Amino acid sequence: MSNNTVKTDTTASGIGPVEEAGASPYSADNPAPVIEPPRKRTKKTGRATRGNFELYAWLFMRLSGVVLVVLVIGHLLVQLVLDGGVQKVGFAFVAGRWASPFWQVWDLLMLWLAMLHGTIGLRTIINDYAERANTRVWLKGLLYTATVFTILLGTLVIFTFDPNIR
């Protein structure tokens, strides 16, 4: 270092050094607790190998996403834009559409793919952001329950829909 023009100016900053913290309860023999990061990797971190589940989940997100783009945009066009727009949607319209197996399959596919896509996505978010193991278990339990319920109910309605109901 060839520079001799050192200026010490720690007081002017308004931020005092750590040492000026006053009467501290901590000392070399009694150090403050350090802040551990969430879920640290240790030697014992389990090799919780669950086969290829994560691989399939990852692939499913990509593939279902591509298919959903087609399905959802088609769905929105039919429902909201083509043939009179949103005004036409009513019981009769839905009944007429579900008379055709093509739309039944379309809606079924959309239901399953969208629900599973959303569930896997939310599962990822829960895994990323829920720190405590318990929170994870509960959030994911809630998520899976809601998913199973919605998928089963939707499937049931598509297949057992009776246009002559009332």
- HSE-CB at 166 with a 13 A cutoff on CA atoms is 5
Nearer to another protein, 137 or 156 (CB): 137
Q: What are the distances in angstroms from CA 124 to CA 50, 142, 151?
A: 16, 14, 20
Asked if 20 and 26 count as a contact pair (C-beta separation under 8 A), the reply is: no
Minimal distance in Å, beta carbon 116 to another protein? Answer: 16
Q: Which is nearer to another protein, 26 or 91 (CB)?
A: 26
Pick 61 or 95: Cβ nearer another protein: 61
Number of H helices, E strands in the chain: 4, 0
Q: In this chain, which stretch among 1-9, 66-74, 95-103, 151-159 interacts with another protein, using CB under 8 A?
A: 1-9
Instruction: List the one residue from 65, 69, 81, 127 that touches another protein (CB under 8 A).
Output: 127
Task: For Cα atoms 27, 33, 36, give the angle at the middle one, nearest 5 degrees.
Answer: 150
Looking at the Cβ atoms of 118 and 154, the one nearer to another protein is: 118
CB of 113 to another protein, least distance (A): 19
Instruction: Please report where in the chains the tokens 């669950």 appear, as a residue.
Output: 50
Q: Does 160 bind another protein (CB under 8 A)?
A: no
Phi-psi region of 10 (alpha: psi -120 to 50; beta: other; left: phi over 0): alpha
If 0-12 CB within 10 Å is exposed, 13-18 middle and 19+ buried, where does residue 120 land?
middle
Q: Taking CB under 8 A as the rule, which mask of x and - marks residues 17-56 in contact with another protein?
A: xxx-x--x-xxx--xxxxxxxxxxxxx-x-xxxx-x-xx-
| Among the listed residues 83, 90, 129, 165, the single contact to another protein using CB under 8 A | 129
Tokens of 22: 């006053």
Q: Binding residues for another protein, per CB under 8 A?
A: 1, 3, 5-10, 12-19, 21, 24, 26-28, 31-43, 45, 47-50, 52, 54-55, 57-59, 127-129, 131
